[in-house]
Amino acid sequence: MTGGGHGEAGRPSTVLRQMRWWDVAAVVPVERELFGATAWSAATFWSELAHPENRWYVVAESGTELVGYAGLMVSGAEADVQTVAVAPGAQGRGIGSLLLRALVGEASLRGATAVLLEVRADNAPAIALYQRHGFTRIAIRRGYYQPGGIDAWIMRLRPIGPVERPDGWCCPPAG
Q: In the chain, what are the domain boundaries?
A: 8-157
pTM for this entry: 0.86
Residue range 7-26, pLDDT digits in tens: 555 556 899 999 999 999 99
Phi then psi dihedrals of residue 84, to 5 deg: -140, 125
65 is catalytic: no
Q: Cα–Cα distance between 66 and 69 in angstroms, integer?
A: 8
- Which is the catalytic residue, given 118, 144, 145, 164? 118
Q: What's the chain's average pLDDT?
A: 88
Q: Identify the CATH homologous superfamily for domain 8-157.
A: Gcn5-related N-acetyltransferase (GNAT) (3.40.630.30)
Which residues on neighbouring strands pair with residue 81, listed in sequence order?
72
130 is catalytic: yes
> Active-site residue among 57, 69, 130, 145?
130
Instruction: Write down the pLDDT at residue 70.
Output: 98
